[in-house]
Amino acid sequence: MALVQQGSGGAGVLAAMLDDPAARGDRTLTGNPGGRPAWLYTAALHPADEPQRLAELRGFAILDTEPDEDYDRLVQLATVLCGAPMGALTIVDSQRQWYKSRVGVPVQQVPRDKSFCAHAILESDRVLEIPDVAKLGWADMHPWGPQGPQLRFYAGVPLRTGEGSAIGTLCVMDSVPRRLTESQRDGLVKLGKSVASLLNLRRQLRIATETDRLTGLPNWFHFEHEFDHNKPACGMVCFVRLKTINQINSAHGFRVADALIQQTADRLRVFGDRGAFIGRIKRGLFVLFFPDARPGEFAQRVAPELAASLGKPYAVHDLSLVCPVNLGFASYPDDGKSLDEVVNAADTALQVAIEREQSMAFFDRMVDNVLSMHFRLEPQLRRALEKSEFVNYYQPKVELATGRIVGVEALVRWMDPARGLVPPGEFVPALETTGLIGEVAQKIMERAVDDWRSWRDAGLPAPRIAVNVAAAQLRNDDFVPALRRALQGLQGDPAALGIEITESILISNMERAIEVLTQVRALGVPVAIDDFGTGYSSLAYIVTLPIDELKIDRAFVKKITADPAYEGIVRTCVSLARGLNLKVVAEGVETEAQAAKLRELECDQAQGFLYSPPVPAEQLVRMLKAGTIGAR
């Protein structure tokens, strides 16, 4: 019985009788019984480029996919052409042969060592034909199990879709011995080429629809497919946000920004080479999944390495650019049982990193619960903003030496029609999380200007009103113009307003803070650092900032009479302010003993419940008429 291989051109039969294997010219293995080719008596050899072949196979993303009518029609045509009761489009994986389309074949896959297609892919574009499987001696004539049909005849053409080996075959089979005619072999080869062309076309279409054009990385749909296909048991998800890509785009143009994004993708590919899945979501946002990574080791080793890699300068068009990043991490399945859940957790961590102006943050369920509560509150907050339910309360700043009211701080309160006055701790963090804090703060400033004008027009000694500036306002290019417009309602009189900004906001973006605060002071509006001394203070930045006032945090004032160390801290703050010609205000003054100590240390002003809690505008009017709050 001959085993026949036939080229598509019908140039003759390359045959080898089982009793004369040398006639085929097939490669043989040293030491094989009788010198016969290995495929004649054992499982098929792997192609020399097996790793590359399998990598190419993965690129088709065809394994374990749903049936396809186009492939089914080609397989049916092959069986009709060859007069065979069975046919298949097979994909040869590392350990199995999987049927993408099949006619008369009862199972979806068989082990690779039972597969004649694994032999067929060793050939070039020739048909591998086995007229009688029983004559091989070693082959299993029941590869589909005892209930399936007997396999006696096989003919398969390799599906060569690239430069290397084939990924599978188009084959026909029969339960009785037989041979193909010359025209049948020729037709099978041509159909095989049609199948290969369709596979390539589908791959190109998938690449076009699932690949980011700028970076060549998978888009979200491809990333999701990779995750679902690999079915990892555990791992870490990471969101990467290029923090200043829009500013780089504005300053240097989109081509520079695009080049930087491409270089970012190249840096991320290093982690892809080590097993991570990578995707680009949108302009400055990437997602990665690290299979098998555990939170503890990942936090110690991989996360810092990733941050360090992305933190290095980029060389773009003769420019050296640094683009800070925010990274958000979450653990699968600890922080989410599905890809959607763990990605949402990583996004929550990213938002925390952004809000806190940190380079990275790991998902924290307690934080997530709080954030979820904040976002559930968002519709009510938006309604309150539309209906002007946020109102101004004012807390006096008192001159320690005289007891005169020399200023007030505007504080937001929510007058909910259903709940009444809502404590700020219940809604201010939600305003910050949802991004509404900037709009609310703007309303507070506008109302403060209106109140100041009414006090002045009534002939009262209208004190300067300090309004708090949120990080969102500092980032907003319209902040200074809005402040200028507010002052225009007072004919440009800057005596109405001052602004207060916390140290943490200043430190998070020092260059931006200096730029904005310089413009604010140019309008004649003084600037105060709020909560001074809470952990960020540094002489290096205090001397460079355009500021007029330090507000000593209440945590130090609270213990000023009980702990000499805290008294020393306040003394140092006052001395520092004196040296820089800044005013000093002590927050959280609650007892006369604290006020006395502050006077002894020559602190300028005090603010706290000893003098007054925050009060509505109409109540403050009565205090302004009195002029002082208990001269000391």
- Does 309 score more than 90 pLDDT? yes
CATH code, 593 = 3.20.20.450
Write down the pLDDT at residue 626: 83
- The answer as to whether 215 is a domain residue is no
Phi, psi (5° rounding) for residue 152? Answer: -115, -25
Position 12 scores a pLDDT of 29
Summarize pLDDT for 503-536 with one digit per residue, the tens.
777 766 677 888 899 999 999 999 998 877 664 4
Peptide bond into 158 cis (omega under 30): no
Tell which of 345, 363, 381 closes a domain.
363
Task: Give per-residue pLDDT as tens, 27-50.
Answer: 222 233 344 444 444 545 788 889
Tell me how many domains the chain contains: 3
Angle CA(111)–CA(112)–CA(116) in degrees, nearest 5?
115
335 and 401 share one domain: no
Residue 92 resides in a domain: yes
Q: Do 416 and 551 share a structural domain? A: yes
**Domain-located, residue 296:** yes
Average pLDDT, the chain: 85
In a domain, 104, yes or no: yes
Indicate whether 366 pLDDT > 70.
Answer: no
- Write the CATH number for 102: 3.30.450.40
pLDDT reported for residue 6: 47
In a domain, 527, yes or no: yes
260 lies in the same domain as 315: yes
- The answer on 338 and 391 residing in a single domain is no
In a domain, 193, yes or no: yes
- Verify that 566 and 437 share a domain, yes or no: yes
What's 272's domain CATH number?
3.30.70.270
Mean pLDDT value across residues 421-442 = 82
Q: Which of the pair, 292 or 472, is modelled with greater confidence?
A: 292
Q: Are residues 438 and 534 in the same domain?
A: yes
pLDDT in the model for residue 9: 38
> What confidence score (pLDDT) does residue 490 get?
75
Indicate whether 630 belongs to any domain: no
Give residue 135's domain range: 2-207
Residue 632 lies in a domain: no
CA separation (Å) from 97 to 94, 101, 110, 172?
8, 12, 5, 15
Same domain, 331 and 262: yes
Determine the angle formed by the axes of helices 365-386 and 437-457, rounding to 10 degrees: 40
Q: Give 279's contacts (C-beta < 8 A, 6+ positions apart).
A: 212, 217, 218, 219, 220, 222, 223, 286, 287, 288
pTM of the model: 0.49
Last residue of a domain, one of 154, 186, 207: 207
- Same domain for 490 and 413: yes
138 or 31, higher pLDDT: 138
- What is the reported pLDDT for 210? 80
Same domain, 135 and 13: yes
618 and 507 in a common domain? yes
Q: Mind giving me the DSSP string for 481-538?
A: HHHHHHHHTTTT-GGGEEEEEEHHHHHHTHHHHHHHHHHHHHTT--EEEEEETSS---
How high is the pLDDT of residue 367?
Answer: 55
Is residue 11 pLDDT above 70, yes or no?
A: no
Residues 97-137: tens digit of each pLDDT:
999 999 999 999 999 988 899 999 987 778 999 999 999 88
Same domain, 143 and 99: yes
**pLDDT tier at 375 (50, 70, 90 boundaries)?**
low
What pLDDT is recorded for position 541?
66
Query: For residue 528, what are its two tokens?
Result: 């105060």
* More confident site: 204 or 330: 330
pLDDT band, residue 374 (cuts 50/70/90): low
Asked whether residue 270 falls in the same domain as residue 172, the answer is: no
Domain end among 343, 363, 383: 363
